[in-house]
Amino acid sequence: MADWGAEVDAQENSLSAKVEKLQVTAGQSKGQSTSAGAGPAQASGEASAPAPSRGAEGGAAPSRGAVGGAAPSRGAEGGAAPSRGAVGGAAGGASEESEDKVSKEEESLLRKLIHSKLVSTKADLEILQKDPNSPLYSVKTFEALNLKPELLRGVYDMGFNAPSKIQETALPALLADPPANMIAQSQSGTGKTAAFVLTMLSRVDPSKNYPQCLCLAPTYELALQTGEVTKKMAKHMTSVRIGFAVRGERIPHGQKCTDHILIGTPGTVSDWCLKFKSVDLKKIVVFVLDEADVMIATQGHQDQSVRIKRMLSPSCQLLLFSATYDEDVMKFAQAIVPNNPIIIKLRRDEESLDNIKQYYIECNDIDEKYQAVSNLYATISIGQSMIFCATRRTAHWLAEKMTEDGHAVALLSGDLEITQRAAIINRFRDGKEKVLITTNVTARGIDVTQVTVVVNFDLPVTMEGKPDCETYLHRIGRTGRFGKTGLAINMVDSKRSYSTLKAIEQHFRKPIEKLDAEDVEAIEKIST
């Protein structure tokens, strides 16, 4: 095994100059290759794929090497290891193989597809409310909200026994009279969609044949997802009509829309309301802007949303939801919901490395890295684990090798459709495979509570080739609620990746200890 550590420490000064030079070059080629090599799912947005729910709910067959160890594609060709250039380069950020870059829309949709349950959180709600005339209170049951009986049945049919943390406080205000305007931020999976869908359904009057509730979503797929939830909750409200103002849905010029609840993307909604005059915005009583943080990623969406909002009646209830809340979202939120909104924030539980034992293994090349992984899996009993690779090519290659060695491996990379990715994640979460090999497409997408070992086959670096500490934390870190201890193993195969490791170690001020992959006893010890 190499001793990169000693060598690098000795050469630090001259190396850092070289690294910097390399990073500039790497950054350029990386940028090019990434955009050129985007996977099919990256085309999501208004101009993309069909209804997303089918694949996820119907469990679309995960493609290629995902299930049962079917041979992953590329690495299969002759079974050759990805060239040193590819792997080393990827770790350094200079590979021709595209690293998977996930758009906000994709990330958001993936989360929606995999959150079949509420995400629990320990964080406290933060509430900002300026209007003292509408005191806030919270409810512990759905009964306490005096919902229409058929709506309450719909809520229970969905398996909701009690309001989620954000719903406890948001729902009474959302359903109050006079209606309150609200800006609510909490991470994906905490019950925002259910909250505003319930609000729309409780305010809609199906005897009036025109749209009364309007919900804007950033993409076609996200709009359909919200529509699915609305349909489910409205299961017993048989006279309520739910319509979609999305690409491909047409309304003849001059004809009035008779749906009661309209869910759509800003472009098509603008056309229907402002151009075709099919919807009278003055009659909308609830206006929802969902996924504000994703919406602002597209300037056109922002402008169209503001234009639509301006046409609403002053008494319309205005609601804005977002998974994150930074300055840009705040500015946009205030343009959409300007008058004394109740602002509810539920912080994400902090991720930390406190319960994680971190190690690194030095290797000379990708074959040694593979050997180290093999030794690890052969020596300690690993429940479920995730292995992160820098490129699709390495991930495919590794999946094939591990499958040949008899491991039940799932493979997840950006060349899969979003619904396939969701299906693979769901299978893994159900324990159908023990190892999930992935590129960066997963780093923020999932919390798999039962994963106890994470292997960085390649350390995370930014597009510029710099150490990516944030991604490292997302891969390895756990939120307080999981409590369990975990194990992180980092593969180091070059001076450069050793420098990355050291930078990450310094950043978090937590030691990453060296592990000899051939020392069985030492490996046994780390798992105890």
Q: Is position 164 an interface residue for ligand ATP (rule: CB under 6 A)?
A: yes
**Least distance to ligand ATP from the beta carbon of 390, Å?**
27
Angstrom distance (rounded) from CA 290 to CA 306: 13
Cα torsion angle, 334, 290, 480, 167, sign: positive
Q: What is the DSSP letter of 65?
A: G
Stretch that binds ligand ATP, among 56-64, 159-167, 246-254, 499-507 (CB under 6 A): 159-167
Best CA proximity match to 355, nearest among 449, 225, 241? 449
Are the beta carbons of 100 and 440 closer than 8 angstroms?
Answer: yes
Radius of gyration of the chain from its Cα atoms, rounded to whole angstroms = 25
On the CB side of 354, CA atoms within 13 Å amount to 10
Tokens of 453: 């070992």
Amino acid type, 169: T
Query: Residue 386: beta bridge partners?
Result: 436, 454
Position 190 contacts ligand ATP (CB under 6 A)? yes
Q: For the chain, what is the largest distance between any 2 Cα atoms, rounded to a whole number of angstroms?
A: 79
Stretch that binds ligand ATP, among 127-135, 176-184, 189-197, 273-281 (CB under 6 A): 189-197
Give the binding range for ligand ATP (CB under 6 A) out of 3-11, 41-49, 192-200, 269-277: 192-200
Of 185-193, 358-366, 382-390, 465-473: span binding ligand ATP (CB under 6 A): 185-193
| Residue 215 binds ligand ATP (CB under 6 A) | no
Q: Is 115 in the site for ligand ATP (CB under 6 A)?
A: yes
Contact between 191 and ligand ATP by CB under 6 A: the answer reads yes
Say whether residue 117 binds ligand ATP (CB under 6 A): yes
Q: State yes or no: residue 325 binds ligand ATP (CB under 6 A).
A: no
Task: Give me the least distance between CB of 171 and ligand ATP, in Å please.
Answer: 9
Q: Which of 63, 98, 193, 440 binds ligand ATP (CB under 6 A)?
A: 193
Burial of 380 from C-beta contacts in 10 A (0-12 / 13-18 / 19+): middle
User: What is each CA distance from 273 to 257, 258, 287, 310, 319, in whole angstroms?
Assistant: 10, 13, 13, 12, 19
In this structure, the number of other CB atoms found within 10 A of the CB of residue 25 comes to 13
Question: In terms of CB distance, is 118 or 503 closer to ligand ATP?
Answer: 118
- Helix residue ranges per DSSP H, 380-468: 392-404, 418-429
Separation of alpha carbons 528 and 361, rounded Å: 18
With CB under 6 A as the contact rule, the residue among 34, 105, 160, 342 that binds ligand ATP is: 160
Note whether 192 binds ligand ATP by CB under 6 A: yes
141 binds ligand ATP (CB under 6 A): no
Which residue in this structure is represented by tokens 């090519």?
Answer: 393
With CB under 6 A, what is the number of residues at the site for ligand ATP? 19
Q: Measured from the CB of residue 189, what is the shortest distance to ligand ATP in angstroms?
A: 4
In three-state secondary structure terms, 121 is coil
Q: How far apart are CA 295 and CA 305, in angstroms?
A: 9
Closest approach, Cβ 118 to ligand ATP, in A, equals 4
* Residue 112 makes contact with ligand ATP by CB under 6 A: yes
- Tell whether residue 167 is a contact of ligand ATP (CB under 6 A): yes
Distance of closest approach, residue 160 Cβ to ligand ATP, in angstroms: 4
Tell me the window of 1-9, 187-195, 343-351, 517-525 that interacts with ligand ATP (CB under 6 A): 187-195
Q: Name which position in 2, 22, 118, 335 contacts ligand ATP (CB under 6 A).
A: 118
Residues found near ligand ATP in the complex (CB under 6 A): 111-112, 115-118, 158, 160, 163-164, 167, 188-194, 323
